[in-house]
Amino acid sequence: MLASFTTWLQFISKLDTLGTHLMRLAIAVVFLWIGALKFAPYEADSITPFVANSPFMSFFYEHPEDYKAHLTHEGELNAEKRVWQTANNTYIFSNGLGVVEILIGLLVLSNPISRRAGLLGGALAFGTPLVTLTFLLTTPEAWVPDLGDGEHGFPFLSGAGRLVLKDLLMLAGALPVMADSARQLLQERRP
């Protein structure tokens, strides 16, 4: 029994390479899928609180201070609010962000063809959560509001806050992806 357990441990100990490849694929899928969704108005509307409250991004919007009156729920079509979001540059910004996210996904996937592009994709995948995690500090909608229940504010994350917190996984996952690309680049440079 001890020998089979040791064999099992030896097998598991070699899964880190497969794990890195799966992480690269997972990061690419997330960036490509979420990037493509940025072209849908409902997704653009849903990021409005994050962008409007961000000291790094709010300047992209015409009227970030007025966003609360123009929020919609996923699946809701409100023509008046859609007009405001258009005038606010919500959709232009979201489309641009979508292009950037799709580019990051493609760069991450390009590692077998170009280690440098793969490394750049990994670095961008690492850097993106450094920005998005700041939303936990700047976006009131990241926390459960005080609507009478005693469980509100810090540490009670709302749905939006839980979504942002998951970016810690992207941050951590991008490190072995970058390390793998860098290791492969170094191996290619050896005579």
Chain segment 91-116, per-residue pLDDT in tens:
999 999 999 999 999 999 999 999 99
Q: Compute, in degrees rounded to 10, the torsion defined by CA atoms 120, 124, 125, 126.
A: 100
Cβ atoms 94, 39 nearer than 8 A: yes
In this prediction, residue 2 has a pLDDT band, given cuts at 50, 70 and 90, of confident
Predicted structure pTM score: 0.90
Q: Which helix (H) or strand (E) holds 56?
A: none
> Rounded CA gap, 189 and 76, in Å?
54
Structure confidence by residue, pLDDT tens digits, 155-174: 999 999 999 999 999 999 99
Banded pLDDT at 3 (limits 50, 70, 90): confident
Asked if the model's pLDDT at residue 13 lies above 90, the reply is no
d(CA 19, CA 173): 10
